[in-house]
Amino acid sequence: MQHSFTDIPRHIREACTPQMRRVVEHQLDRLATQPTPADTPPGSVAAARADYLAEREFWNVGGPVMHDTRELTFDVAGARVRARVHRPTDSPVLPAIVYLHGGGFMLGNLDSHDRIARVLASASGAAVVAVDYSLAPEARFPQALLECAGVVADLALGGDRYGIDGDRLAVAGDSAGAVLALGTALLLRDEPARVTEAATNPARVNASLRAMLLYYGGYGLEDSASRHSLGGFWDGMSAADLELISDTYLTDPRDRVSPYAAPLTADLAAPLPPAYVVGAELDPLRDDSEELGRRLAAAGHDVDWSIVPGVLHSFLHFGRMLDAATAAMRDGAAFAARRFAEPGTDAHDARPPH
């Protein structure tokens, strides 16, 4: 069914910024004209992935030019995991932001979020290591999480192999990637023995994480005001869409309350890296970001959280038209850069997992 901007509920249309409206109109026009690739059955996971990459191609045009970009492979969690490293300068050793892409745990790859990674690298002065973790339904929870935690641990303990300062890392992500990013920090803090790559020195791995950049993740609220009033055909975030994501990603119904899949069920009062938390005003997951930000602040953590007005879920992608996207990425990059510049915690003095 073909939709127009006027089909979106009025309270959402009127709250969109002019730039956000332009983005939505572009997206709806594209949906009306872009055919499903001939070699993928309509409605299949393969078709959804192909369409997602085709749609993101437009949004990845332009952006910062890197000094060097290359691909690596990490052998972690029983898998060979591709990664793309963007280096914004010729410095032989750089701190690194490990970037975990969104896409509902089912979609996306190194190409779909490439401009986001380059903007973060340019704005922070750090390398960005984008991780092509295994996707559901082929790989269900916790496989992707273990891979992401394994990459962080490998960089923390052996970053010199890649020109990375293993003592200065951040973990970042959007949407599903934000859940993986926070889940990675929690898993390494609470159960590092599950991460083979961290086993030799879990204290050092935890001390290496200087910041988390968490953009509009779904952190475990299953019933909230924003979920009831927002989300639909215009953003792919209807109640049915969100239920499909959970059913496809999670292995067991009990995973819905795992602290690594639903981080709001975790102990958020215990030590965690500084957090930059951003939600989108018109996102059904908005209340997840607000709850996370408030709880981290109440626990006394170093946290900077905000809700960006007038924008939808996935807004980071739209930097070609949306100034708020570039601002949120640059502010997050600056947050990480400031934490990279602070003296680190000696690995021997790092607080052990509890």
Nearest to residue 107, comparing CAs of 165, 201, 40, 204?
A: 40
Number of other CB atoms surrounding residue 38 within 10 Å: 5
Find the DSSP H helices in 40-142: 45-59, 114-124
Question: Residues near 265 by Cβ (< 8 Å), separated by ≥ 6?
Answer: 220, 257, 258, 259
Nearest to residue 111, comparing CAs of 73, 150, 58?
A: 58
Dihedrals φ, ψ of 315, to 5°?
-65, -20
Residue 112 is among the residues annotated as catalytic for this protein: no
Nearest to residue 337, comparing CAs of 169, 157, 205, 159?
A: 169
Q: In the 8-state DSSP scheme, what is residue 51?
A: H
Residue 70 and residue 53: Cα distance in Å, rounded?
A: 20
Beta bridge partners of residue 277, listed in sequence order: 214, 305
Residue 122 and residue 64: Cα distance in Å, rounded?
A: 6
Strands 94-100 and 209-215: unpaired
Give Cα 115 distance to the centre of its chain: 14
With contact defined as beta carbons under 8 Å apart, do 250 and 207 qualify?
no
The active-site residue out of 112, 122, 175, 208 is: 175
CA 130 vs CA 3, 107, 192: distances in Å:
34, 15, 22
How many residues can be counted in the chain? 354
Strands 68-76 and 79-87: antiparallel
With contact defined as beta carbons under 8 Å apart, do 298 and 98 qualify?
no
Q: Which residues are catalytic?
A: 175
